[in-house]
Amino acid sequence: MGPARTSAYEVAVRSARESYAALPPGAPVRLAKKTSNLFRRRADTGAPRLDLSACRGVFDVDLEAGLARVGGLTTYEQLVDELLPHGVMPLVVPQLRTITIGGAVVGLGIESTSFRNGLPHESVVEMDVLTGTGEVVTATPDGEHADLFASMANSYGSLGYALGLVIELERTSPYVLLEHHRFTDLDEVMAAVGRIMATQEHDGRGVDFLDGVVFSAQESYLTLGRWSPATGGLRPSDYTGMEPYYRSIQHKRRDVLTAEDYLWRWDTDWFWCSRAFAAQVPAVRRLWPRRLRRSETYWKIMAFEQRHGWYAAYQQRRGRPPQERVIQDVEIPLDRTADFLRWFGREVPIEPVWLCPVRLRAGGGAGSPWPLYPMRAGEDYVNVGFWSAVDIPPGGSHGDTNRAIEDQVTALGGHKGLYSDAFYDEATFRELYGGDHLDVVKGRYDPGRRLPTLYDKAVRSG
């Protein structure tokens, strides 16, 4: 039968409708959220915002069917807290606690199960969407609103907001056993990724999780994880303490984490970005409360700096050059990823970078089932994530490095996620992100243009 539409869920949907109806007629619609994992500069006009806070939580679970009905504003931290005690989790759990499932669906989350489970939107079987007209429609892959269902991925609120979703679940085990494999050649790394993606095995044993880190062209690691009912004779590690998880990769061959600690292994130090806040300096780390060693904390500090610019002004007084923020995740075809990494290592002074192999679950054909982010079905990709800032040299301009990366990604047949700054001209953007298709779907579900366009959201920071 699947998860039920409980009375609590119907109340949440009604609350969303009422919040929309209360907005000034014809005014642009913006979502009210306490947390964000976007890294675009956005102007705050002070206008009333859409409150979807009632659309949080797990409303019903059908363990036999392996499905759950969840609110679109539910963070993955809450999903894990509510689902893990049942021995299940979403098929893909993005690495930061405060990412919401609605945000991951419309903004393309990814994690180490993506080499076998694809992207979060691919495990959605039904969603209730609040459209630009104020109507709530139920979208499914093959129903009346199949066009909206296929177009929600990478739409970033330009077509509507996911109030509730029915998602597939995966059985879990208490522990995840890890192996860290070192490589000194980028082509060898990609060859190993290809073998594991093709078989979901390594040395005759199944692989449940796969990601990696590149510290330099001569030092890379793939981490292979397996569900396990026991610890494998190891003592479970805890990376909420003094040692950041990413440093353990360089000196541990094997490791074990509880299921929950594995899912949030990157969150404590925001991968490695906590070093920008001195949170990896031992003397500072000892004083930094564990409950505040979270990506959410670092994001708030960064957002404060963006608003006030105190640190930038301090650096300018010290004679330091201005900096360009380079925060991107890009999907590169597997057979071109080593080329991209070599180019990146030569041109962009950022290290380390994250590797996350991904293959769409939808099989067959050369096209894409997701028109706003047209990765090709049946092709292997590697997500490359890099998050830092670079100096702007004399004579250079803000955006030069990001534009160079965008050009290189396109030249290699890849795709760039849109959660951060983008610099495409409008014609190029339309070509890359389903422009003609998007026009048709937006005309059906937001004819009054109350929601920002995707280009406004991603490039104009509307």
User: Tens digit of pLDDT for each residue in 363-415?
Assistant: 544 457 899 998 998 899 999 999 999 999 989 999 999 999 999 999 999 99
Same structural domain for residues 52 and 110? yes
Domain co-membership, 453 together with 411: no
pLDDT in tens, 129-177: 999 999 999 999 998 999 999 999 999 999 999 999 999 999 999 999 9
In a domain, 362, yes or no: yes
Average pLDDT value for residue range 202-224 = 97
Pairing mode, strands 50-51 and 31-32: parallel
CA 444/CA 345 separation, integer angstroms: 45
Q: What is the pLDDT of residue 365?
A: 43
Domain that holds residue 34: 7-172+443-458
Q: Assign residue 102 the CATH number of its domain.
A: 3.30.465.10
Which pTM does this prediction carry?
0.94
Q: Rounded CA gap, 462 and 452, in Å? A: 7
Per residue in 10-68, pLDDT tens? 999 999 999 999 998 877 888 876 666 565 565 555 667 889 999 999 999 999 999 99
Mean pLDDT value across residues 291-312: 80
With beta carbons less than 8 A apart as the criterion, state whether 408 and 393 touch: no
User: Are residue 77 and residue 138 in the same domain, yes or no?
Assistant: yes
Same domain, 90 and 144: yes
CATH code where residue 336 lies: 3.30.70
Residues 120 and 149 in one domain: yes
Does one domain contain both 332 and 450? no
Mean pLDDT of the residues in the chain: 92
Instruction: Report whether pLDDT(121) > 80.
Output: yes
Q: Does one domain contain both 454 and 347?
A: no
Give the span between the Cα atoms of 39 and 299, in whole angstroms.
9
Residue 409 lies in a domain: yes
Mean of the pLDDT values across residues 258-264?
98
Asked if residue 400 and residue 337 are part of one domain, the reply reads yes
pLDDT reported for residue 367? 57
Residues 346 and 451 in one domain: no
Assess if residue 267 is contained within a domain. Answer: no
Residue 310, pLDDT score = 63
Collect all residues with Cβ–Cβ distance below 8 Å to 356 and sequence separation of at least 6. Answer: 110, 111, 112, 114, 115, 210, 211, 212, 382, 383, 385
- % of the chain surpassing 70 pLDDT: 92
pLDDT at 26: 77
Same domain for 335 and 388?
A: yes
Confidence check: pLDDT of 192 > 70 = yes
CB of 257 closer than 8 Å to CB of 237:
yes
CA distance 259 to 225: 11
Number of domains comprising the chain: 2
Integer Cα distance of 165 and 18 in angstroms: 19
pLDDT for the residue 307: 72
Domain-embedded: residue 364: yes
**Section 310-339 average pLDDT:** 84
- Domain match, 145 and 62 both: yes
Residue 63, in any domain of the structure:
yes
Pair 419, 447 in one domain? no
**Residue that wins the pLDDT comparison between 28 and 422:** 422
Q: Answer whether residue 432 is part of any domain.
A: no
Residue 344 lies in a domain: yes
